[in-house]
Structure 1
Amino acid sequence: MSNKTLIPALKAKVGDWVYYICVMKYAQVAKEVNFAYELGGNDDLNSLIQRGISERTKEITEYLLRSEHRFLGSLIVAAYGGDPHYMPVRMEDSEEYLRGLDKSFGVLTFDGGQQYFALDGQHRLKAIKDAIKKDPELGSEEISVILVSHYDTEEGKEKTRRLFTNINKNAKSTTKSENLALDEDDGFAIITRRLINEDRFFSEEGRVSVFTKVGEHGELSLASSVRDSDKKGVTSIKQLYEIIKELSFSTPLDGVSLSRRPTDDELEESYIIISERVSQLFEACGSIISKVQKMDDVRNIRKNKVNPGKEDAFMRGIVQRCVSEVVRQLIDQSSLTWDEILTKLKSFNWELGEVPWSSVCIINEGKLKMQTSREFTNLLNELLIIHLAPSSKQQIKRARKLYLEVKNQQYPISQEELENALINS
């Protein structure tokens, strides 16, 4: 067992948190304080918990190395394990001067088995680690540290995750990757993580693409789509989050503020409903789940180099986004029921080269190129509506005209054929 650690500290309390204000040497910080991790289940999801290390870190590192006036603000650090105990220190002096101070000043002790990870100040932490490698003498410098205790239970993890996001939300805007990985108030983020961790299909390794790259300095880019080279992925975490939001109709999460955490009962009820809808949608849109489960490599149904246009349309992020948006629109307008929408989607030809999916791709000289700008997204949305539940003949005419304007060719499905889907026909 490691030696006991004693840290002089001021004890304070705010809300339901007891915390300790102390001082650490840069050398100790660089050696012992890690980046926030292991607060989730999925390995890729865990990686997002660390704040992305950006070019800003280099600037802080140079500042530490070059400026004699260097000064960094406090780190907020969670301490895990180590059997922490706080011992107030009593001071012998006039009570008139010290009244109320004894209880707040003392020594924080650990048995040596503790681990530290930063909840706030990870750019500063990275800069300290980098600066000491270049100039070890900086190890004697000191920084104030606010210590909180982290407990390795579900309740403890949730509490620490919420502290992380609340600190960053209130101090500066958090990235979408941080919110998706950690936010304990956004019900959709909570359900997205649970789906990735628990769902029979989406919890399979690599099934949901979480980030697109890990840079030279550890920075992460949130995956908004799945790479063509990905052998397992069917959607990205960002896209799955948006799908979950769109499919939240008639659940306790519908219309709830993202900053108000739903109750546990609301989350449970919503998860059961939404997770089933997500699976139903992926199955209705070309039998993606049952098809992919039989495959070791899904690259060919995402991008078919031999027969471009034969890919599965719903393996493309733009199609997932447009379909889920239109589904929500039709539900909100009471144009169709959920079951009616699923039935209609199952009847579509889901090859990417077929209508209406051909509106967002071009096949030229044996090569397929996706077109994902707003112009093409709007076009696919309009076409989906007239295939699923057009409200009038005029709406069909407008959509077909838009296809001609955008694609410079006539829409292959006639006005008369599309009118068969009119809601009131």
Structure 2
Amino acid sequence: MNSATDPTPEPNPQDQKAIAKFLEPLLNSPQHLLVHKTQMGGTEAFIGSVTLDWLDRNVGYASQLPLFKRHLNPDTGNVERVADTVEDILQRPLDWSRQLPLAQYLATHKAHKFPALLVVICPSWVNDLQAPQWDDQGRATESAIAFEGLDSQGQLGLLHLTSDVAVFALDGQHRLMGIQGLMRLLRTGKLQPYTKIKKAVGEAITLNDIEEVSALTPEEIENLVSETVGIEFIPAVVAGETRAIARQRVRSIFVHVNLMAVKLSKGQLALLDEDDGFSIVTRQVAVTHPLLMEKRDRNPRINWDSATVASKSTVLTTLQALKEMTQRYLGDRFPHWLSPKPGLVPMRPDDDELEEGMQELRRLLDALASLPSYQRLERGEETPVLR
């Protein structure tokens, strides 16, 4: 119940039913998407969600736009860097070696998650300067996005997507590639691995191969097509822009989005990773073993973030170095903890294996702690002196 000072009216069930009845045919239409409008940096954007199947069928790569047709490498899907294209290229080249690992990740990990994709809406008139949507000064008279507001403030509404509208991934092209690979795997039962330049390498992975190692049931794998992912739409051109200004804006957005993203350091990854068995074992032992755990009467022994130890630092080692040591020490015993390919998320070991790994690492640290140099640490000498 609302308080006396709360002006928000109670929702009317009849109103909710009327809204649902109004939206139902629109939401089931392939030409409409329910979105919320945002405004930042002079560019309107529209945020919604779509199924993986919709994304596979309706979103492409910038290299597939008509203006790149003459300079598109049909084998790699990348645009040739020549005088005619260098100012129009909007994103980095596609790396096809990433498709299989990303598709495999989605199909094998229960807690899989992709961030929202940033995509550009580009109707056919954008690349036709003779189209009536351009004025005699070469400026667009309307936005490339057709949005119909449904509320009084025009914040919630419908995005109209007609057959002549191209949608391409600006940030998230490799996520799209992984989703496309997953859809191909589900529809055909197999997926061919590629090199970076899309040359077939090795044998195709089959759906049966995936089901044997997946944490998902066959039914859950089949239902991946209807999972949803966030998507943010921006216009290829806004009213008042020339084509050159619009291109600069879109390229800048791509650069800025990627420039602001900071990768986790290896130490931070080892601290947070819930899938890599070596990371889990390392951090659990690091906070419980007497040689490494923090104590009130001494300086910390571990640098949790940095990859290096300064000459005057009182820490003994870094979490990253400990994790690498653990991987070398336990790697032969638990080879299946390793990711089958760089960039692919490993499968989390079961609790019994993790406990076994922790016991082995504790025994190693017990042996190290018995060495004379480490005994000096226990007597109060600091690491800079020993170093």
Determine if the TM-score, normalized by the shorter chain, exceeds 0.5: no
Larger helix proportion, structure 1 or 2?
1
